[in-house]
Amino acid sequence: MKRRNFIKNTGVLSAAGLVTPGVLSGFNINSSLGQNEKLNIGVIGCNGMGWSNMRSMLKMEDVLMISVCDVDQNAINRRLEDYGELRANKPKVYGDYRELLEKSDVDAVIIGTPDHWHCKMMVDAVRSGKHVYVEKPVANTIEESYLMTAAAEQTGKCVQTGQWQRSGIHYREARDFVQSGQLGTIRLVKVWAYQGWMKPIPIIADSEVPEGVDYKMWLGMAPDRPFNQNRFHFNFRWFWDYAGGLMTDWGVHEIDIALWVMDAVTPRSVVASGGKLAYPDDASETPDTLQAIFEYGDFNMLWEHATGIDNGPYDRTEGIAFIGNDATLVVNRGGYEIMVENRSKEKQEIAEIYEVPEGARYLDDHTANFVDAIRKNDPAILNTPISSGSLAAINAQMGNISYRTNSKVEWDADTGKFKDNDPANDLVKASYHNGWKLPVV
């Protein structure tokens, strides 16, 4: 399934029950902002990447943060203090993102919440007429990923995914080189994240909700359970109710580049194996060690991740390797290298090492691209639109589904379902709890 067919095939997902039939109503299509107008931003989830993204945008003098929303008042207090060092205006404060979205003076929002909230917030935001910068992975299920793409298409809003590697010049150069054919036929793409900094998460008892935290709102559509500090803030990533572990956290960055370079969308099949092999007795649920093989027809992709180890393939902690008959190109955040096959002596002239210049700030380039798209009211110029963010999330979720069902899963792109695999198809769909409803698109 090629990238150009992705949007067309979302109609298939409606027939398969992954996109609920209906019409988005009540949204506003704003005209583009004038080049001299201030861009007013609201931040939803300001503890981690939400604030990093906002701080990046504030390097542009014509951007203001006029509102901030978080379920943790302690996080809000810290960010208001941080913001006071950068701008003079006083942002409005909210505990419920829906109140923020009602404000007509907010042009765009940054969504930096845990993954399980992304879909609902993004769809509500574009319906209310806001442009959106949503953190990766865009959603916690395949169904939500398709819904988000459909909502952006129907409203015409600019929705940028926080997979900022797409804004890196050297990633674009690497893509151009791979697509030039000089590597020869590519039959394998290796994608990996080895994370030596990750240590075991000690098991701790449930506790009282910290003062200033609206825990019920934090849970949202996730299953109800007592508060546990292990599941809160950063470490939510390692629990299935809210996220998908390293496969979705780091995987979407790297898988996105692999799909973009290879012009691929969804695999024919995925088989994954791994588990909690490094820290079998710690508190996390997601695997600390995982390998997954994705079959795309004319090439395979191999994903690997490991915690507690830094020495990954090609002596790099993370990266993507495009392995061709004549040469291999390895690219990561530090640069790229072209390695010629020993037998291909005539290809020696293509060997090259490129290192990213000191001071390069690709996140700043990414947020600037988002602001530019808003000012021009042109989603087509986004470097990582929601359709691309969704593709990366969908592929990563397929790897997790194969692992969680202990089965080789085969995807039917025509029906939007796995073939003859009810447990896997159950995990395709989102399950909302506590009175929250999946958006209708």
Q: How many residues does the chain have?
A: 441
Cβ distance 132 to 420 under 8 Å? Answer: no
Of 356, 396, 409, 375, nearest to 144 (Cα)? 396
* Poorest-pLDDT segment among 156-165, 274-283, 339-348: 339-348
Q: Pick one of 3.40.50.720, 3.40.50.300, 3.90.1310.10, 1.10.3720.10 as the CATH number of 3-166+363-385.
A: 3.40.50.720
Please name the residue ranges forming H helices in 136-186: 142-155, 169-179
The pTM score is 0.92
* Superfamily, domain 168-358: Dihydrodipicolinate Reductase; domain 2 (3.30.360.10)
Cβ distance 189 to 320 under 8 Å? Answer: yes
- Cβ-Cβ contacts under 8 Å for 326 (sequence gap 6 or more): 182, 183, 184, 340, 341, 344, 347
Evaluate whether 3-166+363-385 and 168-358 have a shared fold: no
- The pLDDT > 70 percentage for the chain reads 91
Region 356-384: mean pLDDT is: 96
- How does pLDDT run across 381-395, given as a tens digit for each residue? 999 999 999 999 999
Region 360-376: mean pLDDT is: 97
- pLDDT at position 345, please? 61
Residue 406 has pLDDT above 90, yes or no: yes
Q: How confident is the model at residue 12 (pLDDT cuts 50, 70, 90)?
A: very low
Domain boundaries, the chain: 3-166+363-385, 168-358
Residue 8 has pLDDT above 50, yes or no: no
- pLDDT at position 200, please? 95
Cβ distance 313 to 192 under 8 Å? Answer: yes
Of 237, 287, 241, nearest to 400 (Cα)? 287
Q: Nearest-5° angle of CA 108, CA 113, CA 119?
A: 70
